[in-house]
């Protein structure tokens, strides 16, 4: 498959524990710091759960 670049654009403050854990599981450390991940069903499922907090670009 391919790679995607995930960047957090909104804060996880005042979000549910589950959404905070998903952001952490994606490897995102701070706002506007991109992370490159390989596309697979697990990653895409996590991206879908926090779509409102992140942006996704193909690499």
10-42 tens-digit pLDDT: 999 999 999 999 999 999 999 999 999 999 999
Structure tokens at 22: 């998903």
- As a whole number of angstroms, the distance between CA 57 and CA 36 comes to 9
Question: Residue 1: which pLDDT band, with cuts at 50, 70 and 90?
Answer: confident
pLDDT at position 56 is 98
List the domain range (segments joined by +) for residue 42: 3-58
What CATH number does the domain containing 43 carry?
3.30.1390.20
- Quote the number of domains for the chain: 1
What is the total residue count of the chain?
Answer: 59
């Amino acid at each position: 498959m391919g790679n995607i670049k995930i960047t957090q654009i909104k804060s996880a403050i005042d979000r549910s524990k589950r959404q905070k854990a998903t952001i952490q599981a994606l490897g995102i450390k701070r706002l506007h710091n991109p992370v490159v991940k390989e596309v697979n069903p697990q990653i895409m499922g996590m991206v879908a759960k926090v779509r409102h907090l992140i942006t996704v670009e193909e690499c």
